[in-house]
Amino acid sequence: MTVITPTMIGQVVISGLLAGSLYAMVALGLGLIFGVMRVLNVAHGPILMLGAYVTFWLFSTVGLNPYLSLLVSMPLLFALGVLLQRTLVRRVVDAPELSSLLLTFGLSIAIVNLAQLGFTSDLRAVEFMTGSFVLGPFAFSKSRVIACLFAVAITTGAFLFLQKTRVGKAIRAVSQSREVAQVCGIDVQSIHMLAFGLASALAAAGGSLVAVMVAIQPEMGAIYTFKSFLVIVLGGAGNYPGALLGGLLLGLVEQLASLFLTTQVNEAVAYILLVVVLLVRPTGILGGRAS
């Protein structure tokens, strides 16, 4: 058993927050879809995967800076999200969770299969930035720090949008009560499409940012779907600040688990955390909707 020093704990806490900020951003998208439409979107991870491929292809063909590719991947997948909502997902809005889970699972395997056909299953990497920042006793991988900064900026932007703009207020109104929002003259159908588009753009941003850090392959998305589910349940489904808290918490717990146990079990630890939270507070830490 190795001795665990305060420096190690500090390092782990910071790494956890770096990873958590990405989880929070991606899960905010999933939470938005659930909050506005009561749809559990299993295809969220595969959309993230598409975002990573956009970055990879732009980098490997025209040498575009991976961080600039956010400007392409986010609008592109926003459009795909709007299209998916408009054509398919709108039909399971408000249906029992089984319908939305199955429909989006069907979409999910179709997207992954198309990616395998189009991009092959080869592992791809964007070799853009290596090395670390060193600060006193701590060292942080550059790509993770920059990804965290982007995630914080994008998440803040999304929050300001939800909080301050008229459209953002309309989105929150629809997630509080669709009927009342409709009576107030809000075009609920457009809000649904917009929310799905925004959520897909957030997933795409996640994909573009992780493209620099991990191997890119068609099945990389599933783990992010799973983590995003954990995050929105931890924070309270339909509760947007809760998604942030849940994301940071998940990042921290995973890193602490890998320090005290091993990296292989961090999913299991996160799951146990989830079950405990659900038992103590069935609607999540910050409270969400019962169903």
Partner 1 sequence: MTRWLSPPALFLPVGVVLVLLALYPMIATGYGLRVMLQLFMWIALAQSWNVISGLTGYVSFGHVAFFGTGAYTGAILMTRLDLSWLSASLAGGVAAAVLALAIGWPCLRLKGPYFAIAMLGLNEVLRVAASYFEGLTGGGLGLSLPTLHASEPLYYAMGAVAVAVTALTFAIVTSRFGLRLMTIREDEVAAEAMGIDTFRYKLYAFVLSAVGPGIVGSLAARDQGYIEPISVFPLITTITMIVMVLFGGKGTIWGPVLGATVLFSFQEMVWAHFIYLHQLLFGAIIVAVVLAMPRGILGVLQQKYNLPRTL
Interacting residues with partner 1 (CB under 8 A): 34, 38, 40, 88, 91-92, 95-99, 101-103, 105-110, 112-114, 116-117, 222, 226, 229-230, 233, 237, 262, 264-265, 267-268, 271, 274-275, 278-279, 282, 290-291
The count of residues in the chain is: 291
Smallest distance, partner 1 to C-beta of residue 63, A: 31
Long-range contacts at 169-178 (CB < 8 A, ≥ 24 apart): 171/32, 171/36, 171/195, 172/240, 174/36, 175/32, 175/35, 175/36, 175/238
Whole-angstrom Cα distance, residue 93 to residue 16?
35
Smallest distance, partner 1 to C-beta of residue 241, A: 19
Can you list the alpha helix ranges (DSSP code H) found in 70-221? Answer: 70-87, 97-119, 142-164, 166-176, 178-183, 188-210
In a 3-state reduction of DSSP, which class is residue 92?
Answer: helix
Of the pair 92, 170, the CB lying nearest partner 1 is at 92
Whole-angstrom Cα distance, residue 150 to residue 215?
20
Of the pair 153, 268, the CB lying nearest partner 1 is at 268
Smallest distance, partner 1 to C-beta of residue 106, A: 3
Smallest distance, partner 1 to C-beta of residue 112, A: 7
Of the pair 60, 113, the CB lying nearest partner 1 is at 113
Of the pair 104, 208, the CB lying nearest partner 1 is at 104
Smallest distance, partner 1 to C-beta of residue 224, A: 12
Of the pair 45, 66, the CB lying nearest partner 1 is at 45
DSSP state of 66: T
Smallest distance, partner 1 to C-beta of residue 50, A: 15
Can you list the alpha helix ranges (DSSP code H) found in 236-286? Answer: 240-260, 266-280
Of the pair 96, 137, the CB lying nearest partner 1 is at 96
On whether the CB atoms of residues 273 and 234 are closer than 8 A, the answer is: yes
